[in-house]
Each structure stands twice: as C-alpha cells, then as structure tokens.
Amino acid sequence: MGTFLSSDRWRLPGVAVAAVALAVAACGGTSPASPAASAPGSAPASASAAAGSPSESANIAYSGPPATLEYSIWGDPAEINNQKAIVKTFTDANPSITVNVTVSDWEPYWAKLQTGLAGGAAPDVFAMDGPLGPDYQTRDALLDLTPYVQAENYDLGQLDANAVKDFTTADGGQFGLPRDLNVIALYYNKKMFDEAGVPYPDGTWDWDKLVEVAHKLTKDTNGDGIPYQWGVYTETTDMENAWSSLVWQAGGDILAPDGTKTALDTDQAAQGLQFLQDLIWKEKVLPDPALFAETGDPFESGKAAMEINGSWLVPTDEAAGLEFGIAPLPKGPVAQATSVNPTGAVIYKGTKSPDAAWALVKYLASPEAQEKIMALKASVPVNKEILSTTYASAFDGAQVFADALSYAHLKPSFKGYDDFATTLQTELDENVFNQPNKTAKEAIAAVNDQLNQILADNQ
C-alpha cells in the first residue's frame, strides 16, 4: 500500500515507495557461484543427501564455514521480538552462523533496501512482500534457490501452494520461500451485536445480509447525518483490504488469465467495486475515508460494529480491549472469496554466504519457526503441518483464517505491480471511494488503457 499507509497496519503491501527499487535492484552485487557448484558433483554445504520429511529438511544442521548474516524485516515491536526469538533458536542450533536482525517501518524499510541494492551491500536475507517479488527477481537482485531445493529434495508441498506461487517463476525458478500469510475476514464487535439483539455473523451471510445488519448497527441519534456508530468499516486504499475480494465474489477478476491485460473492465468486476462505493455513499453504513483519516481505525476505537480487514489486526484489536469475533467474508452474488497475500524470505544474489542464508530461509518456513510466528496471532502460518494441527485452535477465529485458504485468491503479483496499483488506486480513491464522482465502471474505463499499457511494458 506504500503511499496509502494506514496507521493501524505495520505489514502493508507496497505501492509508491517500493517503485524506486525497480531501477536500483539491477545494480546489486555480483552473484556468487551457483550453490550446486560449490564442489564438482556436490550438494550445497547446508544440504544433506536427500532430506526426507519436511521437518527433517527444515532442520538440517549447517555444516559450512562460519558466517555472519544480516536479516532485514519490517515490523512492530512484537514482530521484532518474535523474529529475534526465532533467529536465536536457529543460531543456537547453528552456532557457526551469526544473524543480525535489522528492522524498519514499512516505508523506511524499502528505502534502505534500495540504497543497499544500489551500493551492492543489501542484507543477506530480507523480507519480501509477495506482489513485489517479480520486480526484484526480474532485475537480478535475488538468488535462485532452485539448486538448493533440488539438492536437498526440499518438499515445497509442505507449504501453502498460494504462498509458494508468489516466489516461483514461470520457468520453475524458486526465488524465496514464504514465511507467513495475510488473509482477509470479517471482524465484529460482540458487545454491539448483543446490545442490538443481532445474531453474530456466520458463513451463511451474503452481501444483502451485510447491508441489512450494517443498517441496524449504524447509529445517528442526533440526526446530523454523521453516525456516532458505523455498521461496517474497511480501508479502501488498497485492493487487499476489501475491494479485490468483492470483485472476485461478483465473478470478476483483476487480471486476465495470461496476465497480459486487466480484467477490471467487465460488468462483474465493476459490480464488486460498485458495491463498496454504495456502502459508503448510497447505503451510508460505511464511513467515507476522510472521516477517520487522522484518527485511525474506527473498529479499533469502538466506533464501528464490523470491519473487513486482515489477519494482522488480531493482536491490535486484542490490545485495544475489544470483545470481538471473526467470521468469513459474506458471499457475493457469484462466489465465496477472500484475499491472501504472503510475506516471504529471499536471499540477496550478492550475499557472501549463500549456504548459510539458505539455512536461515529454510528454517523460517519450518514447523518449529512457524509455531513461534503463530504465537503472534498477526499472520497465518504457511507450513501445512502447523495449519492443520495447532494453528486452527490457537485463538478464537483462527479456524476462519485457516478455512479461508481453500477459497482465497492470491493477491496479484507481477512485474510492474507498483505502477499498476498506483495508477488504479489513485483513480478509485479520487473518484469512487473518497467522492462518488464516477461510477466504478466509469472510473475503470478512465484508466483501463493506462493499466494495459503498464502490463504490456512489463511483459
């Protein structure tokens, strides 16, 4: 989301800030020798002769020379401490590897990464937002992990398929492993529902039910036209938070199947976007973005009864003292759908210690590390072993996120994503969501040629 930054979300998909990285990523340092070529006919130093189970594969001891790695992430204080604890477990098991964890807020993170890539001194391992991965990979900034995967018979099938997909190229290259997932669902304030005598949301809800209940929970006692309590809230400034899910629920899509053209210029896609505009300006049950631009998330502050947003909000809402529940997104006229977006760990192509970096990246996706990530409640594990066992009962609502993976759509990930998203979102913000200057269909028509040109320029 970059430019359209939310104060409530520390993990945001990039738009404007990361765009500069596209030019500098090509300036990364020289690539080390292919890991599979460390010695004739040998596997990388961190590999074994065909690791069997996923757990075994994830926990192979590093046997290479002493190495010092920089592992760079974005995050809030809880995330920082969590990742440092994970790294400590890793280095305790691999004492010849030292890992220095560096952390920044979202925008400074990408600025610092750009500087490092331009100077040939980027972090050895760094967090990567799924949609931005292709831009970095195609500019020769990331190490291809395929030789490691093949040498160890590393089982990518142990990880959620959508999560893996974002770091896999069309020709089968593997440029990172997923670390965690972000899934969109419907949060609801139990106290507000109880006071209104309204049953909690469940899997039977559809768009009509959402509108019906949102009207019941929107309160404007003084009649000034500005409710003191809103029925529903969502962030409109990025496709991930709500509107992409609505497009899919209406039977539309964002890109054509081959990725060469936008698919937003259809009645189905427009219907999904129009539904969100109507919630704001026609039904008046969702606040227009300007109302809470300065004061923050109204669900968190007890001024909205429901919120469509991501798994990252669980610890935030808990810290706010809310008594809340989590339900699946209401079904659309065509389908049940939600958005999933992975964060991965990638290796800088210019690292001096590729074997040690691979050992760390592999560990971050292991069941042991995933258990620790799960404890934060801020993201969904990517490891299927954890997803199918301990995660679903980790907290109230975790099962909803786990189940949603079966009908989730991967947030679009392609070269040129930043330009595409910035062009599209600027039009939607200015003319559809912030003000109803145009219908959704009119707004898409206004930028459709630009979007297609961006896609064509990045093929």
Residues 85, 164 within the same domain: yes
Q: For the residues 435-442, what does the mean pLDDT come to? A: 98
For residue 1, being part of any structural domain is answered with no
For residue 139, being part of any structural domain is answered with yes
pLDDT band at 3 (very low <50, low <70, confident <90, very high): very low
For residue 5, being part of any structural domain is answered with no
Q: For the residues 338-345, what does the mean pLDDT come to? A: 96
Which residues lie closer than 8 Å to 345 by C-beta, 6 or more apart?
71, 125, 126, 127, 128, 176, 177, 179, 360, 361, 364, 365
pLDDT tens digit sequence for 360-373: 999 999 999 999 98
pLDDT band at 221 (very low <50, low <70, confident <90, very high): confident
Q: For the residues 235-253, what does the mean pLDDT come to? A: 97
Residues 75, 207 within the same domain: no
Residues 214, 310 within the same domain: yes
Residues 354, 315 within the same domain: no
Residues 122, 231 within the same domain: no
Residues 121, 41 within the same domain: yes
Rounded Cα distance, 164 and 160, in Å: 6
Residue 58: predicted pLDDT: 42
pLDDT band at 447 (very low <50, low <70, confident <90, very high): very high
Share of the chain above pLDDT 70, in %: 87
Say if residue 312's pLDDT is above 80: yes
Residues 247, 346 within the same domain: no
**What is the overall mean pLDDT for the chain?**
87
For residue 163, being part of any structural domain is answered with yes
For residue 277, being part of any structural domain is answered with yes
For residue 133, being part of any structural domain is answered with yes
pLDDT tens digit sequence for 186-200: 999 999 999 999 999
For residue 244, being part of any structural domain is answered with yes
Rounded Cα distance, 310 and 299, in Å: 13
Q: How many domains does the chain have?
A: 2
Which residues lie closer than 8 Å to 253 by C-beta, 6 or more apart?
247, 263, 264, 266, 269
Residues 178, 252 within the same domain: no
Rounded Cα distance, 362 and 58, in Å: 6
Residues 303, 292 within the same domain: yes
Rounded Cα distance, 132 and 130, in Å: 5
Residues 438, 390 within the same domain: no
For residue 396, being part of any structural domain is answered with yes
pLDDT tens digit sequence for 402-414: 999 999 999 999 9
Rounded Cα distance, 290 and 294, in Å: 8
Share of the chain above pLDDT 90, in %: 78
Give the residue from 410, 425, 442 where a domain finishes: 410
- CATH code at position 157: 3.40.190.10
Residue 60: predicted pLDDT: 54
Residues 133, 169 within the same domain: yes
Residue 131 sits in which domain range? 17-182+341-410
Residues 227, 334 within the same domain: yes
